[in-house]
Structures are given as structure tokens and as C-alpha cells.
Structure 1
Amino acid sequence: MDRLDAIDLFVRVVDSGSFSAVARTLGVGQPAVSKQVAALEAHLGAQLLQRTSRSLTLTEAGRDFYESAVRLVGDIEAAESRVGRGRIAPSGLVRATVAPVFGRLYVVPRLHEFFARYPEVTVDLVVADRLINLVEEGIDVAIHNGELSDSSLIATRIAQTPVVTVATPAYLAAHGEPATPAELERHSCVIYAPQGAPRVWGFAGRFGAITYQPKGAFRTNDAEQIRAAVLAGLGLAHTPGWLFDSEIASGAVQPVLTDFEPAPLSISAVRSGNRFLASKVKVFIDFLAEIFAEQSGLAL
């Protein structure tokens, strides 16, 4: 057994979540990959992966070894790049999480440009509307809106977005435009309720922060439904500006309470603090920062 090859295979299996996927990528049989990882486990005297017919998960020993293995593979890749003076192109699988609507609007439509630049890199986008455990899920980078509560993670700000309150011109013509957050009491709000509880709306006032508990007949935990409800004239929504960027530009929706707009939200590339930044992940993060800078509603 070549230990470096076996460690590289182990990292690939964890990243992809599949022995078969790694085998297909390398053009070998799945049993060959399984045999190498099994030999590595025998050498270490510990089970790294818990295998079932439907899933593949890291054991406690596997999670510990994976972090070291990722750094080792990254160090080797970096050393090869230095010796080759940058001629070794980034390659491998990048696993990223992104909110469903954000990925559909801003990431997926531009991926053809990324693949044209880096043909040896593949991308697995995992849809998640919350920040998941990056290590346990084998995630390289998460695209996250807002601040982080976990200090063990590394967040690189790659964009920002205003927080806007919007409605259609037709709704405002029928119900009037609120001049202050207090006037929202006489309006219908489209409510974001990620875990069943309506999220409070925040505004910036002359004497400090203002909060408002929205009221309305419709609530949802899905940003796509927020968009659909506002465009259908069901009421006002208070959201990250990127959700309605094109509609604001076209006039399909109109921002209100702009004098009370709170501080913009940061959009960050988040990764594990214990994980080496592989070149394949770095170029993906850099690419996202580049394309977001071209969007009026995302530029820093």
C-alpha cells in the first residue's frame, strides 16, 4: 500500500461521499478504492468510515484523521505547485453549500465560466438554508448571509447586500406607502418564518435600532415563496436586497422605508478553521467574489 495514495483516496471518498464516485473519476473499479481505504484503516488500526448500504459517514477517529489528511494533501499540492512554478492546475471536487434561491440566481448561471477556466475542477452544490456542520458533511466552503456565531470557522467576506423593504407598485397604490416602521401596522406583511416563528424586521432609526414584529396572513420558510408572494401583491417583505435585485432595477417592486434601512448584510465564504485552503477551493472562492462584484446588489 502506498500510504500517500491511500490517504488521498480517503480524502476523495469523504469529499464525494462515495467510493463509486471516486472510482469513476479515477477510471478504476470501486473495489480497488475500497481495498486501498481498508488497507489504510488496517495500517492505522482504526475504522475511519462507517459503511452501510445507503450511507457513508466518518467515525470519530475518521473525523480526526480527515482533518490531518486534508492538510497533508493540501501541503503536497502546494509544494507541487511551487516546484512546478504554478503549472499544476487546480483539480478535484469542491463541495459547497448555498441557499436555494441564491444559488439559482447568482451561482449556477455563471458556473460555465468557472469550468472553462478550471476544467479539472468539479463542483457539488449542496442546497442548505442554514449553516450546517462543514466537517461532518464534508463541505469545503459555505456561502453564508449574515454574521457567524461559531468562532471556530473562518469567514471571508466576498460580497454584501442591503436589507430592503419592498412591495409592488400596485400594492402601494392600493394601500399607500409607509413613511415610518410604525406605519407597517396598517399593512399586510409577507413573513419569513424559518422555524415556524416569524423573523423580526430590523430598521435603523435616528436614535438607534428599531424592531418590528411583522403581521400578515401569509408566512413561509422559503425565500422563493417570499418572492412569489410579493410579486403577487400579497404585501410588503423585508429581505436581503439580492432577492429582489432585478425586480428593483426593472421597477417590478419598489423599495420603501429607505431612510430606515439597516446596515447591509455580509455574504461570506465560510470554511472550517482546521482545514487547509486547497487551491481548488481558493479559486472557487475567488471566482465567486469576482462575479458577485459585478452585481449591483452584491458588490462590496
Structure 2
Amino acid sequence: METDAFKGRVMPNGVCETHTMRLITADHDFRFHSASSDMRRYGASYSDARVEVSLILEGEVLFIVDGVRRTVRAPAASFQAYRNSLEVVTPRHRRTRTMWCYASAALLDDREWALTAQLPPLIGISDALRTLFDSALSIPDDDATIPGNPPNYGKHIRNALGAAIFAEYLRCSVVGQGSQASLPVPVQKARAAIDENYRKPWEANDLAGIAGVNRNHLIHQFKKHLGISPTRYMWNRRVEAGVHLLRTTDLSVEEIAFRSGFQSGAHFSRIIKKEKGMPPGQLRRTAPSLTAWTRDASGG
């Protein structure tokens, strides 16, 4: 019997599991990068065929994969496979932090391209994915900086970790872990309610009522699929709104606090300093910077 290695079900097109696993067993020369942008729009484009797994740790990223647009909000892992082009855009007035692993897609044939299309484009960030990325990024690109090791030592280790990252994404896809493309309806409803009115003093019981489940179940589902509680999600949205107003208006701190859902100007200032490392006045005076964002067309 022939199976779909991604979905774990019978395939009518005769694709066997051993063939599909070439995606994670062939020597793909995996590359790793991490980057952040601070409150300023950034864009990059690529034209060489690749397969890529990205971790969106903070903020959001717009991916345009062979012309198809998809916005990914943190925290999430995202899979991109593109033949012709990939564009990556971060929004203005929102800090974004990402990691990504990619390899050339030159070894994929038509059957494997068809199978990559079956992978969910978004899943939650499993502990294993984060650990694998952290491990790979800690290995120097230059093997000369690892004295006493054989030639290409670092490259071989990175390739093993890269294959493990794609295998872990595949595993999460099969078991349905954290898929944001198919978030449980209660999570969708509660998140939409917060997004539409983040200023409202939402309580978990209120959101649970909208979602049609009990409070504990909603909190559990939020943490399982989004990695944070409903309350934390609400405060993240408020912080984002407050920072946006600081950057784009001359409104007073008190007025921004009111518009963003904070209890007072002092409360807003305290939370902003805790989350951003500086008080609102200093954050407003600090010019946006792209120096930390290193995702460019030449470097990956």
C-alpha cells in the first residue's frame, strides 16, 4: 500500500513514502540565518528555487510565494517552497524577529513539488524546532574557527540539523501540532474578538463565552496552538498599538494609553519600558533602524 508521507493517508497517485522522504534525506547544503527589524518596513526578494522553514518569533512577515500572498504572525513556523520567486516584507511600526533555514530545491522532481504543496504553510513552533534552530545558528560558518575538527565539520553538522528541522516540520504536520491554517474554531473566534477590539478589558470568561467553550479549555487551546494565553495575546496587541501611535502621532502619552487600552499613562509607560527596554518618550525619539535586519538577497 502506498501512503502520503505528509498526511499519513492512502495516495491515489502512486507516490510512495520512500520517495517523498528524499526531501529530508538528500544532501541539500542547508543554510541558516536570523534577523530582526525595528519599527520599519523591510523587503527582500529571491529568484532561485528553494525550500525554507522560517520561525516568526515576534511581529509578522508577509511572504509572497510564487505570487501567492500569506501573512504570518508570531509565534509561528512557516514553510515556503517556490520555483520562481519569494518576496519577504516586514511591516512598518512593528518589531519583527525571525530565524530561517533553507536549501536549494534543485533536487526536487515534479512529484516532490506536488507533495510540498500538501504541507500546511503554518504550524506552531515546537520546542524541538526552536532548539534545532538555536543549535544550528551557534555553529560558525567558518570551519577554521573550530580548531581540531576535520574539514567541513561545521557544514556536516548544519546539514544534519537542517534535515532534522524539515523532518520536525513534517512530524508536526502529520500529527497536526499547532497548525495555524486550521486553528480550532474557539481559538479563531477568541483571537478575532481581541483583534477587533483590543481596547476592551477582556476577561478569559468573556472570550470563552464568545468561543463557546469553558475558560480553562480556551486557555489550554491558545497556549497549545499560539504559544501564549489569550490575556498575553491581548496585551501584545495593545503594546503594538501603543508603539504605532508613539511612532506616527504627536498624541500625549495619556491619550495613547487611553486609545491602546491601558489603565493610565503611568501604566502604559511601565509596560512599554518593560517590553521595549525604554520609556515612551525615548522610544518616540529613537529613529527606526534596520541595522539589525540582515535578510538580504545576497546573504539569504
Structure having the larger proportion of residues in strand: 1
TM-score, normalised on structure 2?
0.27
Greater RCO, 1 or 2 (C-alpha within 8 Å, sep 6+):
1
Structure 1 length-normalised TM: 0.27
